[in-house]
Structure 1
């Protein structure tokens, strides 16, 4: 990707983020983050519902949540700002749809599905020749949950 501009490199990396989550390529997914990123997820009322400060913990949580599920994650309408030669600020419109396997509700607290929209607010940094996520904040605007 060295012949691509920094913005193009970040766009490609974010596309891989979505694809790696949906295809459950967890090792590849983990390479998109610095070792100690700041990851924050907010609900519709703008309340922090979960945070991570470890790439490995975040990847493990994603892997656990999506086990057996089918998902589609999409981003678009990127707003990229070059902060410095090694830092890019990004905002992406996002949509995700996750359909969970049927399970015994007493064992699996996940809903039947969720379909959400919102925005990722991110900081990307260049590390070892690659653009990686140092900070990601998901702020939802719509979240439709179908209970089991």
Structure 2
């Protein structure tokens, strides 16, 4: 097994998550192939969200997880299979989204299913998406003393 490639794929996924949570949209764009596809299971929207192309993925995230929202995404337990310049990965996801203006907390877990492609610029995400195992929402008004602080 190519341990260097395996670590490069891991780092790519971690960069994807870090860039979402820190709102680093230009760097986030760099993790995708131009023709990337994303399919996110979103029970809160009552549908699977399908985004086609790097620009569509980045614009959706920029518009829906902007500076007025707090997010924390953690992925682990990767099962990565390498086949030359292609790879697949399954990752467990635990995420939290806080919407202070709407006084809403969304928590959930899912499994990502990714496809990666290596080119002259290294590994990129060709396809990503997750299937939820659960998701819940709670109004922050139900816990009036609960406060959130961030460094940004």
Give the TM-score of the pair, scaled to structure 1.
0.84
Distance 1:54 1:7 in 2: 25
1:75 to 2:75 alignment: yes
Gaps of 5+ in 2: 141-152
Aligned match of 1:112: 104
Q: Alpha-carbon deviations, 1:7-62, whole Å to 9, x = none? A: 10011111111111111000000000001112112246xx8521011111111111
Matches of residues 1-148 of structure 1 in structure 2 within 5 Å? 5-43=4-42, 48-67=47-66, 68-82=68-82, 84-103=83-102, 112-147=104-139
**Structural RMSD (CA):** 1.7
Name stretches of at least 5 consecutive residues in structure 1 with no aligned partner.
104-110
Distance 2:97 2:76 in 1: 18
- Number of residues of Structure 1 aligned to a counterpart in Structure 2: 135
Give the structure-2-normalised TM-score.
Answer: 0.82
Q: Which has the higher helix share?
A: 2
- Structure 1 distance, partners of 2:139, 2:38, is 26
After TM superposition, where is structure 1 displaced by more than 6 Å over at least 4 residues in a row?
none
